[in-house]
Amino acid sequence: MNDKQQAGILISECELDRTASDTVLIAEDDRIYRRVLQSRLQNWGFRVITAEDGLQAWEILLQGDAPDLLILDWVMPGIDGPELCRRIRERRDVIYPYILLVTGKDNTQDVVRGLEAGADDYLSKPFDPTELRARLQVGKRILALQHQLIQAREELRFQANHDALTGVFSRAAILSLIDRELQRTARSGMPTGILMMDLDSFKKINDTYGHLTGDAVLKEVADRINRTVRSYDSLGRYGGEEFAAVLSNCSPDDLRTVAERVRSAVSDVPIGTETTSLAVTVSIGGIVTSHATPGLELLSAADAMLYEAKRNGGNRVELGPYDLVTLKVRS
């Protein structure tokens, strides 16, 4: 999968609070009580989804984008409130729903049963509307915190797998993706292509214009390559000014087409920085295999072809003999 599809959109804290609290599922078999609850919650700014019994509520929760703030009646046909709580908790969803269990039962043993079944809070009928609203606010705060923690986890995961400068996959991540893709090739026989790409004379750019300009060039080159490879290919920064791409289900013709497209995308239009405009070119080496092949061996073969492209003047593509990975690695 292309790195662009993996990045996703980060949600701001206020958006997290809104997505965590806007929608409430009410599961209540008493029609009048259900309508009263619905009306109150809507007046408080909630979007309300209602279920007439536990079975209907369960079906709603199994769908995508189900609410994560739930008000469940204890006594309902089909599935009662405690059993519905147990089913919800057994799913161990990524998003933890906050459950308020509502019932006419008010003795200590019933409270314990409801909480042990998986409810987060408990409210006895009849209840004061202000108390209900206050308890829902508690649920909103907890859900907002959960969403913020999930966002922080995803940000850390992104940072762990991506190059800090260019935003494409890190060296470790692209090597792991290559190994996984080659495992798929070994199972299916569908060919995998590898491209190794290196900017020509990049040291001269750093020496002449400084490392800040060099960094700007690397970021723009990575972005151009990422936009050029196919949507289901993956791009990583292999090291310095060198990039590696793994191309799924890639024929020799596909490999050459993508490689030439990348070369043109980098070299055809000068890269503008804050201080200058630079003509940048890239040398590319590539190889395809449809057999079980060690990832490092395939990378070595693609790297050898990259060396050939450099040796032949740069700004060119050299592709190796397909399914042969015995090429001499450059020293």
Q: Which residues are catalytic?
A: 241
70: amino acid identity, one letter? L
Distance CA 105, CA 82 (A): 12
Q: Tell me the helices (H) and strands (E) count for the chain, helix number first.
A: 12, 12
* Straight-line distance from the first to the last Cα atom of the chain, in angstroms, rounded to the nearest whole number: 32
**328 φ/ψ angles, rounded to the nearest 5 degrees:** -70, 130
**For residue 318, what are its two tokens?**
């050299």
The whole-angstrom distance between residue 11's C-alpha and the CA centroid of its chain comes to: 13
Q: List Cβ neighbours of 312 (8 Å cut-off, separation of 6 or more).
A: 318
Shortest CA distance to 196 belongs to which of 323, 322, 310? 310
Distance CA 316, CA 310 (A): 8
Burial status of residue 256 (CB atoms within 10 A of its CB: 0-12, 13-18, 19 or more): middle
